[in-house]
Structure 1
Amino acid sequence: MSTHSEIFSHAATVLAVQSMDRSLTFYRDQLGFTVTFTWQEPITYAVLRRGDVSLHLTLRDDDSRPSSVHTALYIFVYDVRAVYQELENQGVALPQAPEARDYAMEDFDVVDPDGYRISFGESVEAEGT
């Protein structure tokens, strides 16, 4: 029996990718994640981490691509403009600069090699609060 007051521990986002090498290069070299675990050789599963964000990649066994309408990852950050500048310096394609949204976030998106939309956002104080 658990001694924790909360039974849930944490969650992991798992993205199915077409090319593990291409995805590891993108997340490690362009987005700044560290590879903390890999499974098998050639690699079919990997765990990446940056700060408190953990991301898992699994090698897709078919040629299908994710639906960009339904698959997205939102990463909460403390300084969205610094993240944007860092990614710009790494040569990441950035379709738009960080923008203040009506849902009290300032954010921007990137698209990974498999078509997954990744948003980076910082909470901002809503006007009048």
Structure 2
Amino acid sequence: MSELIRSMTVLQVADLQRSLDFYTGRLGFSSHGSWGDPPCFAIVQRGAVTFALDETRETGAPVPGNQYWAAYLYVTGVRDLLESFRKAGVPIERELEETPYGLLDFDIRDPDGHVIAFGEDLQPRPGVGPGLARLD
């Protein structure tokens, strides 16, 4: 039997080095390397979250936008995380708020305009993944 074990969000970026600097220097991700000559693709990871950064190949081509979130990341210690991002100069798109979907979350915006949410479950249940209690 097959099972899905992990995912990696792929974000299109205009400038690979700028994005690598942002994700590693400001958001605390580790780089797993970059590929291409010159480099045009990289993988970064923090905890169980992995992003691929894929540089636009056409000069001047716009980076695709998302309707809103490019990714939603479940976390613990959301208040501490927000404070660490503030200290690192990360642009906060939406301040911390308690949501109707049972999470305490906030949004940041990366250099390419991708909005990424970070949320902590307000009523975690043992054995149920973050945010999934409301899907029962």
> What is the percent sequence identity of the aligned residues?
33
In structure 1, the residue matched to 2:91 is 93
Residue 56 of structure 2 contacts residue 63 of structure 2 at CA under 8 Å; is this kept in 1? no
TM-score between both structures, scaled by the size of structure 2: 0.82
Distance of 1:67 and 1:19 partners within structure 2:
15
The letter for the 1-side match of 2:6 is H
Runs of 4+ in 1 over 3 A off after TM superposition: none
Q: Structure 2 regions of 5+ residues with no counterpart? A: 125-136
- Three-state SS of the structure 1 residue aligned to 2:112 is coil
1:85 Cα shift? 0.6
The one-letter amino acid of 2:53's match is: L
For these two proteins, the number of residue pairs brought into alignment is: 122
**Alignment-derived partner of residue 14 in structure 1:** 10
Structure 1, unmatched stretches of 5+, are: none
Q: 1:67: Cα distance to partner?
A: 2.0
The 8 Å contact of residues 106 and 123 in structure 1, kept in 2 or not, is answered as: yes
Task: Give the TM-score of the pair, scaled to structure 1.
Answer: 0.86
CA distance in 2: counterparts of 1:70 and 1:97, whole angstroms: 15
Q: Is residue 51 of structure 1 aligned with residue 50 of structure 2?
A: no
Q: 2:127 maps to which residue?
A: none
